[in-house]
Chains A and B, each alone.
Chain A
Amino acid sequence: MSSITREEVAYLARLARLALTDDELDALSAQLDVIVGAVARVAEVAAEDIPPTSHALPLTNVARPDEVRPSLPVEAVLAAAPAAEESRFRVPRILDEE
């Protein structure tokens, strides 16, 4: 089992949009190594021909009638947002200004 490096944790944190401090990167790479070592035991179960289970219930594609129903009032939803403007969620700049 290859050990999990600090750089690898930093890469995972970027994928997960998670700002981590240097101390957190150090702690997490050490802990993740131990945890992954423990959970890797799943490999001991012979399961080549076993189908995966994503879900304990035999449910697929539950649909409802395609009817318009009342939704939450826009003001009530936006009231919970950190920033809103003109009936929309307001966010910092996404694209560079050209």
Chain B
Amino acid sequence: VTQVASDLTKLTAVELAAAIAAGDASAVEVATAHLERIAAVDGKLHAFLHVDADGALAAARAVDERRAAGEPLGPLAGVPLALKDVMVQQGVPTTCGSRILEGWVPPYDATLVRRLKAAGVVILGKTNMDEFAMGSSTENSAFGPSHNPWDLDRVPGGSSGGSSTAVAAGLAPLGIGTDTGGSIRQPAAVTGTVGAKPTYGGVSRFGLVAFSSSLDQAGPFARTVLDAALLHEAIAGHDPLDSTSIDAPVPPVVEAARRADVRGLRVGVVREFSGEGYQPGVERRYREAVDLLTELGAEVVEVSCPSFLYALPAYYLIAPSEASSNLARYEGVRYGYRAPDAADVVDMMTRTRGTGFGPEVKRRIILGTYALSAGYYEAYYGQAQKVRTVIAREHADVFERFDVLVSPTSPTVAFKLGERAADPLAMYLSDLLTIPSCMAGLPGLNIPCGLSEGLPVGLQLIGPQLSENALFRVGHALERALGFDYVPERLR
């Protein structure tokens, strides 16, 4: 890897787009630098499941040709991106981290992918993930885990851990993840990256492989808040192909981020999210960042939200129930893997699913089938849906008095590979702090707020539906004041 190429992989999306627009670097040079870096280091990181070098270089050449022809370029033209393997891209294998989809090549583009292509974004390839987005570490990927660039013996979070790894390690300045219970924010927190979960319905899900349809939402990874804001504007907005897509203008988050001002902003500190189970180093960095908000002129007040503690149990009834239904489509008929030598069609489906799905997916299908089955439906799924109402109402009450809520994003820094793999409940607790906002369809943003024992700590901002402007404004103000160096220490 040459010096110039290595420098290009350290630039932000804003800097890269400016360099390409000014002619200081071509889009092909930028793409090549990132592809070379992937080739050099991804053997150790395993951020990507599939690298689409030809497609990336063709997209980059198209940007260079448009510039040469004097055509206007968008704010992300020529900027490389790592795409979570849960989004379909025409002609590029999509596995969702599962054997059951191994070898499947989608015949169409997700709306999000179409928008990225229209913006001139260069998609480098598909990133690793927990199988069907079920997990918090990428250890549930059928193709092996990704490794945290800050410490290769630790997880990069999940389920969008391939995208968090790629962005943290400089393999791509931008990434796409999906967040059902925290799968963008938690991996961002443990890799020192910015991760934004948009309002439910804010970004089209046409072409997003479904896990839990009342919760799934795609959103950006980046190394800076402004980069994440640019990516949000590129992908957000109404899509007639997605019936859950919000038909409202996209909040102008880039302009909001540029304001970076928190004076007079009412910030609620969630009381329930501290104490036992929270690492002291995480609490320390988080409290320092909250103090900084006060110094910057925000009105910071502690607030109690007792129902939030019931979000995790409600989530682990609702999400598996929806998953058990959504994953019925993998039956060996229309795409992906089929078990050979079946006696009849039921035998074929049963064995296809038994051998095609990994342990966590099977666990959730059984749990969801249980929660939905006769005799248990009211006590489990029905009650969980009522608890969801209680949680949404408590959020609505709190947002009468506050503009945003803050908490740590994860109670701990990145844990070691294997540490929680044998204990499903310990793994589920990784998303304790990100699930309540999902239950109410709210947007959230992770901002790196320092290091504890050399590993990144994340702060989470939550706002009402479509309040992305406030999140990006506060996020950018904090980012400037904190001055976090997003390059992992071992890569500096």
Contacts and interface: CB of A to CB of B under 8 A. Distances in A.
A36 B310 contact: no
B360 to A, nearest CB: 10
B132 interface: no
Contact of A57 (B240, B246, B317): B246
A36 B369 contact: no
Contact of B366 (A13, A82, A83): A13
The interface residues of chain A, by DSSP majority, are classed as loop
B313 A41 contact: yes
A91 B338 CA distance: 10
B388 A52 contact: yes
B347 interface: yes
Interface string B81-124: 00000000000000000000000111110000000000000000
Given A47-B390, A54-B385, A81 B335 contact: yes
A15 interface: yes
Interface in B381-419: 382-390, 392
Contacts of A9: 366
Nearest to A9: B366
Interface in A37-67: 38-45, 47, 50-57, 59, 62, 64
Nearest to A25: B366
Contacts of B465: 56
Nearest to A43: B383
B351 interface: yes
Contact of A54 (B214, B334, B365): B214
Contacts of A82: 332-333, 335-338
B279 interface: no
B362 interface: yes
A56 B201 CA distance: 9
Nearest to A94: B345
Contacts of A68: none
A91 B316 contact: no
Nearest to B353: A18
Interface string B457-484: 0000000010000000000000000000
B386 A45 contact: yes
Interface in B60-80: none
Given A45-B307, A47-B386, A57-B441, A19 B313 contact: no
Contacts, number: 175
Contact count band on A: 35 or more
Contacts of A92: 342-345, 347-348
A34 B314 CA distance: 15
B273 interface: no
A15 B375 CA distance: 15
Contacts of A89: 333-334
Given A35-B424, A38-B425, A44-B310, A18 B366 contact: yes
B191 to A, nearest CB: 27
A41 B310 contact: yes
A17 B344 contact: no
Interface string B415-441: 000000000110010000000000111
B22 interface: no
Given A17-B346, A17-B353, A56-B439, A40 B313 contact: yes
A31 B363 contact: yes
Contacts of A51: 386, 389
B354 interface: yes
A47 B345 contact: no
A97 B107 CA distance: 36
Interface string A1-18: 000100011001101111
B357 interface: yes
Contacts of A72: 107-108
B387 A18 contact: no
A64 B36 CA distance: 45
The 7 A-B pairs at the shortest CB distance, nearest first, are namely: A56-B441, A19-B354, A52-B385, A82-B338, A47-B386, A62-B243, A76-B107
Interface of A: 4, 8-9, 12-13, 15-21, 24, 28, 31-32, 34-36, 38-45, 47, 50-57, 59, 62, 64, 72-73, 76-77, 79-83, 89, 91-94
8 contacts: A13-B366, A16-B324, A18-B362, A32-B367, A54-B214, A56-B201, A62-B244, A82-B337
Interface of B: 104-108, 200-201, 214, 240, 243-244, 246, 307, 310, 313-314, 316-317, 324, 328, 331-338, 342-351, 353-355, 357, 359, 362-363, 365-367, 369-370, 373, 379-380, 382-390, 392, 424-425, 428, 439-442, 465
